[in-house]
Structure 1
């Protein structure tokens, strides 16, 4: 599954290489899974269950890494997300950075890699 056209444009706009960003996202997820699957999510969460995720910051700061976060989401099958703040924006504590909607298993898989 390739990254969406909109995400490819965001990545290119950040002067990053689309293939490299996708490789980084896939490598982060592969490392998290350790060559296996997310056993806990697979055992406890129905595959067809959907959820909403909200990525926010705890402290004031400058947003960074949005193209990578979005790549991780898309690699995990989450294509329904909304970016509220982009790289370089100054945000106050507890600002909503990105909201995402998709399969719960995909969101949980993305969450670990995206936050690291």
Structure 2
């Protein structure tokens, strides 16, 4: 999706490839293909977890303090627009879409956030 790949691209590199590349052969070299974009395995899963885990924990603690509520209730009224802005504020770089969405308060709605 937009959010995960934006975070990944802000911290690691993706490369231009071709639609015709062999996915099996790419996999043997620890590479994935998204259309004509080549994504090294090290540029996706691990980096997203390394970046997001501490930030999400910090956001959770902040929500508990701000709302005075616990558990899932702390997130009431906090949708994908707010998530994108918070991530843009905390981890976005000028190379990322989420940074600019936060900076200019542009609403980015992600209807299937867990997709």
- TM exceeding 0.5: no
Structure that is richer in strand per residue: 1
Structure that is richer in helix per residue: 2
TM-score w.r.t. the length of structure 2 is 0.30
- Larger CA Rg, structure 1 vs 2: 2
